[in-house]
Amino acid sequence: MPTTDSPFRYPGGKSQLKKFIVELFEYNDLNEMTYIEPFAGGGGLALSLLYSGNVNNIIINDYDIAIWSVWKSILFYPKDFIRLIDSTEITVEEWKKQKQIYTQMKQGRIDKRVKIQVLTLAFATFFLNRTNRSGIIKGGMIGGIEQNSKDKIDCRFNKKKLISKIKKISSYSNSIRLYNLDAEIFIKKVIMSENPKNTFVFFDPPYYKKGPNLYSDFYNPRDHQSLGKKVQSNKLTCSWITTYDCCDEIKRIYSNSYGLEYKLNYSLATKKRAKELIYFSKNLRTCKKYVNLDVTVYD
């Protein structure tokens, strides 16, 4: 089973789109790019493109303070974060403890300047991500409270591999910029301040239909409409793509952009096949073979 460069397990992760993205770069003669993800999540694709030299720098943003705190800890406090991973037992009791910490800190407000607060939320978030079904924070514990199933709570928590991934990410910290902004503010303050000729943005917003069930911070219909206007605005002149779940509402919102459907195979606990939508900025040339794009996302 293919693995990603991300230490996260993330619903809808797009690491398996790398081949498509690289071909899109080549087809459009895009070189020495700054690659940006306004909805970074697990960031597996961004990391893979950076490691392979397909892009020079990556800029990742996530409005969810919990997800941001993990990235902040990996990039700025890697030794402390690794120490927490290495010293913590993966048990049901610890899961209950970290679940309580996560809930309390998400309901309150953390000071992003205070290291201990960032690390505490980061580890609780990371622990739940690695021990919950399909990495969904809202999901239940792998194996359940009784741990009487084949898969146990620690089956997705290989400390050695996770620490190796974290060390590698931190070694590239000079090529990674991190933000915790609302996506529309991020577009205005960050994306539009970059050189559009050397900027490629992958917008991967929360799913329209299933977002509320998958993500702690999700969009309502008005949010999706507002974002669609900003992405398709003539003021945004860089190259971009946007992916979404396949539904009529998104087709209407992005009716001014060229798009196509592609097949997404989920290799999760319950295998399924779904269609998704991908839209392209007007300055991107597209290839007919993309119509047959078939991607598998692994847990």
Pair 212, 295 in one domain: yes
Pair 236, 291 in one domain: yes
In terms of residues, how long is the chain? Answer: 299
Helix (H, G, I), strand (E, B) or coil at 219: coil
Tokens of 164: 């190796």
Task: Report the range of poorest mean pLDDT among 127-131, 136-140, 176-180.
Answer: 136-140
Pair 189, 54 in one domain: yes
Pair 59, 191 in one domain: yes
Q: What is the CA radius of gyration of the chain?
A: 19
- Domain C-terminal end among 174, 206, 225: 174
Q: What is the mean pLDDT of the chain?
A: 89
Run of H or E including 189: helix 183-189
Measure the CA dihedral 24/27/29/30, to 10°. Answer: 0
CATH number at residue 270: 3.40.50.150
Pair 139, 86 in one domain: yes
**Paired residues of 36 in beta bridges:** 59, 201
What does the pLDDT read at residue 299?
44
- pLDDT tens digits for range 117-126: 999 999 999 9
The rounded distance, in Å, linking the Cα atoms of 99 and 88 is: 14
Contact 259, 279 (CB under 8 A): yes
Pair 112, 196 in one domain: no
With 90 as the cut, is the pLDDT of residue 15 above it? no
The 3-state secondary structure of 85-102 reads HHHCCCCHHHHHHHHHHH
Give mean pLDDT, residues 248-274. 78
Run of H or E including 298: strand 294-298
Pair 52, 79 in one domain: no
- Domain C-terminal end among 131, 153, 174: 174
Which domain does 21 fall in, by range?
1-63+181-299
Pair 68, 15 in one domain: no
Total tally of structural domains belonging to the chain: 2
- Domain C-terminal end among 111, 139, 174: 174
What does the pLDDT read at residue 1?
45
**Paired residues of 278 in beta bridges:** 243, 260
User: At 212, which amino acid appears?
Assistant: P
Pair 213, 249 in one domain: yes
Instruction: Give 78-144 as a DSSP string.
Output: HHHHHHHHHH----HHHHHHHHHHHHHHHHS---TT-HHHHHHHHHHHHHHHHHBGGG-TTSPBTTT
Residue 146 vs residue 216, higher pLDDT: 146
CATH number at residue 97: 1.10.1020
Pair 235, 123 in one domain: no
Pair 49, 159 in one domain: no
Pair 75, 55 in one domain: no
Predicted TM-score of the model (pTM): 0.90
